[in-house]
Amino acid sequence: MTAAYLSGVLCRRTAVLEQNESGSFAQLEKIFRTGKRREKPVIDGAGQPFEIRGIFFYQKAERAEWYDCSERGMEAMVIDFGALTQKNQDAFFRCSRCFLVGSVSGWQLADFAALAAEKQKWKKWCEYFVSFGEEEAVKMAEQYLDIRIRQIPLQKNALMVTGESMTFFGKFLR
């Protein structure tokens, strides 16, 4: 959703880099290559980015892909670190904006609170978001952790920009 807003609304040349082991981008590319969608990636080849709706996706990105983004004139890079770990936190904190996304749905509230509380030293660098959670649970987490948490609007397609997502992202992305 962030990349769709940066590309579609702010007209920035945008890349999304997968810097985790989830394999989600391989699945995303496979779906778009099978013909279920009419759009075809414009850049083919192993280790190369694929493009969907003007957004360039890099699978299992390493430092070389960061440089490639710069050479290709990317104006915005969204990096999916997956779970924040000791291994990736240095790269996370080198980013110009750090968004920590979690969930505060009943069973996950304790995990989100533990992560945010453990990382209180990050408070001035991080912006906190939740993808799922009851409004009351979000307010409790904000009070307990003394942080501001933005609730990401539910959207059926993360690559589409809606009025609701424009309003949401327009408050903090320029």
φ, ψ for residue 129, nearest 5 deg: -140, 150
Q: Which residue type does 37 have?
A: R
Q: pTM here? A: 0.81
Q: What is the pLDDT of residue 41?
A: 47
The alpha carbons of the chain give a radius of gyration, in whole angstroms, of 17
Residue showing tokens 């299992």 = 60
How many whole angstroms from its chain centre is CA 154?
Answer: 14
What's the whole-number mean pLDDT along residues 106-134? 73
Cα 83 to Cα 66: distance, rounded to the nearest angstrom: 19
Q: 4: alpha, beta or left, given left = phi > 0 and alpha = psi -120 to 50?
A: alpha
For 79-111, the pLDDT digits (tens) are: 999 887 888 888 888 888 999 888 777 666 677
For 32-56, the pLDDT digits (tens) are: 777 655 455 444 444 688 999 999 9
Q: What is the pLDDT of residue 120?
A: 63
Q: Which residue type does 40 have?
A: K
* Residue 52 to residues 8, 24, 119, 156, Cα–Cα distance (Å): 12, 14, 34, 16
Residues 6+ apart with CB under 8 A from 45: none
What's the whole-number mean pLDDT along residues 65-85? 90
